[in-house]
Copies of this chain bind each other. A is one copy, B any other.
Amino acid sequence: MARSLGRLFKGFQSPAFPKAMGAELCPATCVSVRTPFVRTILALPSAFSSKPQDFSLPNSSWGPEMLRLYNHYKSQCEVEVEGEEKQEGPWQRLPSYNRSLKFTPGGVYLSKTIQSKARLFTRNITDPGAAFEYVLFVNKEKQKCVGIFQTGHLLEGPPGHVHGGAIATMIDTVTGSHATVLSGPVMTANLNINYRSPIQLGHTVLIESSLDKMESRKTFISCKVTGTDGSKLYTEATALFLSISVSHLLGG
């Protein structure tokens, strides 16, 4: 696995690449690379840095509950200090784009057409509200991450309810982003998901992840999907991530 990841990232030889490791450093010219195996924020060479759309900002499809929770956490991203300008608060919003890097080493199987058209799975439908509407906030001091997730009508599994694979996808997204903020570049080694109750389409849920422990290269995260007031448990999961060094990612 290590070798295959090394090969995968051999193409990222831009001097800009290692500079912006860590979600907190991401400017508009970065692309969030969300992966099951490697998550990090990569600065792109200028040729690839056309301004991408940040999909984790409010749009017309967001319902009142989604907006209320967004404003709740957003208001804690900056705090007023008497007599001073606003300062960073305990929470921080993570941006989210629909493009990954376009210049990966492909091999024979990966045509140029596929590379240029590739889109992040969770952002592959751009119609607002149709699929995954979500925004992530992280609190580094409390070592917590929260995802606010509004479920679109194209995520159906049971009639009127969200597919288990879509729930797994959002759990992977929240816990993986959390692990990246805590440990830098990581890869997912395991997801263990217990489904307790179905989630309705058109509903808003909270996905809260917390750090269980860190041991050597391993980051253990647990996660709960609940109603927005926390009273109803829909799904719970544990996730294990393995840290990858930058030199390793670069094939060193």
Contacts and interface: CB of A to CB of B under 8 A. Distances in A.
Nearest to A106: B160
B195 A192 contact: no
A1 interface: yes
Nearest to A155: B121
Contacts of A176: 164
A128 interface: no
A157 B35 contact: yes
A164 B119 contact: no
A165 B92 CA distance: 24
Contacts of A245: none
B198 A4 contact: yes
Contacts of A155: 121, 124
Given A160-B106, A191-B191, A114 B201 contact: yes
A50 interface: no
B169 A163 contact: yes
A151 to B, nearest CB: 9
A122 interface: yes
A21 B102 CA distance: 46
A8 B115 CA distance: 41
A150 to B, nearest CB: 11
A35 B121 contact: no
Contact of A154 (B121, B130, B164): B121
A134 to B, nearest CB: 12
Interface in A133-163: 153-163
A200 interface: yes
Interface string A163-191: 11111111011001000000000011111
Contacts of A193: 168, 190-193
B172 A164 contact: yes
Nearest to A204: B109
Q: Which of A1, A111, A195 has its CB near the most chain B CB atoms (within 10 A)?
A: A195
A20 interface: no
A153 B119 contact: yes
Given A33-B159, A164-B169, 10 more contacts: A35-B158, A100-B157, A109-B203, A114-B153, A124-B125, A164-B172, A190-B192, A190-B194, A190-B195, A192-B192
What are the 7 closest A-B residue pairs judged by CB atoms, nearest first? Answer: A36-B164, A165-B169, A35-B158, A121-B163, A168-B168, A124-B154, A104-B159
